[in-house]
Amino acid sequence: MFITYQLLFPLILLILLLEFIVPKKVRSIVLLALSFFLYYICGTAAFFILPAVGIISYVSTTAMNHTKTQTVKKIILVASIAIIVGLLLTFRYTSLKNMAPLGLSFFALEAISYIADCYLGKIEAEKNPLYVILYIAFFPTIISGPIERGGNLIPQFKRLDSIGRKELFDINRICDSAIIIIFGMFVKLVIADRLSSVSNHIFSEYYHYGTTVLIIGAVSFGMQLYCDFMAYSHIALGIAGLFDIRIMDNFKAPYLSVSITDFWRRWHISLSSWLRDYIYIPLGGNRKGKFRKYLNTFITFAISGVWHGSGISFIVWGALHGLFNMMENLLTDIGLMKKGKRNLPFGSRFLRAIVTFVLVDFAWIFFKADSTKTACSYIIQMFTVKDFWILSDMDKLFSLGLGVQEVMILIFGLIILGGMDYITYKHDLRVDSWLKIQGPLFRVVFTLAILLYTIVFGVYGETVDPASFYYMSF
């Protein structure tokens, strides 16, 4: 995340202190300055693209606001979105792809949603360019989301510039935000980065292995990706919370989903809802018959694949999810699959969660592999080369990137994460809200335990850069 945490967190604390000291009207300016500063020092290429997209968003929406004619508004909408999509495609598919600014995929979608929402009249165009640019450049969300909406963030920036110091320094909110950050760091450093040793090892040398090891590799990657991205979202959410800015939850125990549809309601929620609002619904959604519904679903997921990366493998991944969704819709429509999860008994829910996980994890192979060809070879080998005896060969089993000690540390981490996910799934509670129910003593002990566990057993130090996240590469 921009820079090493050892610099980032003290810097954030410093800015928080500064926010307290400076007159309230300049708080957003301080936040914007910090956002640009962090974005600049992280060494991104084409730094100017970020403010440029912010300015395009402001100018186009202001122009739309001053125009009475619907046609001109539409032209401005199409032109501005075309410029932003053009930038996205240029930096993805041309020789400039190595020059792509960090987080372009994320802030470009934020800009599009803002312009579209203004055009559709969902929100009013903001008159102060500062808030629009800050919305695009807000540092916790800039690199890997959540893909926020102007309607949610901009009013909060305005509020930040008007509230009293007492409200800004609400100790309950600050402590809760710190807990969210600590939990995010725990998931990232203890679980995600440990799992990456296994998935990187197996995916880079998949040709040595058979069914068992390749399944371990795929499951490890699935868990790694979830933990890495969920951790980022938590850290972003916690950091924003320190400044009294509430951003959306991006994950809600996705691997406990009972269907692919359910999964996409819980995984990368900000992207799913963006795709729903700005791709699926404009395409007609489910309003134009079943065939169009299936087709629209498929197109939406294919676009999601394109958004994630430039290789064919990402399109295959998107198409697979499109296909899974279509199949699920079909099975539901013909009555072979129950729609809601509420009426499902535990056994069915459990089995459906496993099936969903297997399907999602299978698709992740295309996400992780260097190319479609590699992914196909991986899958063929996974289904054809027997190596079940490796489960009895402890030496081999514990040479797949993690030794016994590391696996023990990982298992403890996964138990905590699994428990927390179950609570989120069952009661829709995040770690901070759950701890609020448990009472202060447990809250102190739990937070202290995961913080110390992370400090000692986290994967960081001389040779590791823990500040990089998987989704930063998109």
Q: Which C-beta is closer to another protein: that of 37 or that of 298?
A: 37
Which residue ranges make up the site for another protein (CB under 8 A)? Answer: 3-4, 6-7, 171-172, 175, 405, 440, 443-444, 447-448, 451-452, 455-458, 460-462
Minimal distance, residue 232 CB to another protein, in Å: 20
The gap between the terminal CA atoms of the chain, to the nearest Å, is 14
What three-state secondary structure class fits 212? helix
Q: Which C-beta is closer to another protein: that of 395 or that of 462?
A: 462
**Can you say how many angstroms the Cα of residue 117 is from the centroid of all Cα atoms in its chain?**
22
CA separation for the pair 108, 53 (Å, rounded):
7
Minimal distance, residue 7 CB to another protein, in Å: 6
Q: Which C-beta is closer to another protein: that of 340 or that of 439?
A: 439
Minimal distance, residue 156 CB to another protein, in Å: 21
Q: Which C-beta is closer to another protein: that of 334 or that of 441?
A: 441
Q: Which long-range contacts (CB under 8 A, 24 or more apart) does 306-312 make?
A: 307/105, 307/109, 307/271, 307/474, 308/105, 308/367, 308/474, 309/473, 309/474, 310/92, 310/93, 310/97, 311/371, 311/372, 312/371, 312/372
Which residue blocks in 68-128 are alpha helix, DSSP H? Answer: 70-93, 104-120
Minimal distance, residue 176 CB to another protein, in Å: 9
| CA separation, residue 149 to residues 33, 77, 136, 154, 232 (Å) | 21, 17, 9, 8, 18
Minimal distance, residue 35 CB to another protein, in Å: 18
Is the distance from CB of 136 to CB of 111 less than 8 angstroms? yes
What's at 245, amino acid-wise? Answer: I
Which residues, other chains included, contact 335 with Cβ-Cβ below 8 Å and sequence gap of 6+? none
CA separation for the pair 331, 329 (Å, rounded):
6
Q: Which C-beta is closer to another protein: that of 308 or that of 443?
A: 443
CA separation for the pair 380, 184 (Å, rounded):
36
Minimal distance, residue 85 CB to another protein, in Å: 34
Q: Which C-beta is closer to another protein: that of 6 or that of 348?
A: 6
Minimal distance, residue 323 CB to another protein, in Å: 44
What's at 218, amino acid-wise? Answer: A
Minimal distance, residue 49 CB to another protein, in Å: 23
Minimal distance, residue 178 CB to another protein, in Å: 9
Tokens coding 113: 């949603």
Q: Which C-beta is closer to another protein: that of 190 or that of 382?
A: 190
The full 3-state SS of 61-83, as one line of letters, equals: HHHHHHCCCHHHHHHHHHHHHHH
Minimal distance, residue 175 CB to another protein, in Å: 6
Q: Which C-beta is closer to another protein: that of 394 or that of 452?
A: 452
Tokens coding 288: 């134009």
What is the sign, positive or negative, of the torsion defined by CA atoms of 438, 441, 444, 448?
negative
Q: Which C-beta is closer to another protein: that of 171 or that of 336?
A: 171
Q: Which C-beta is closer to another protein: that of 22 or that of 444?
A: 444
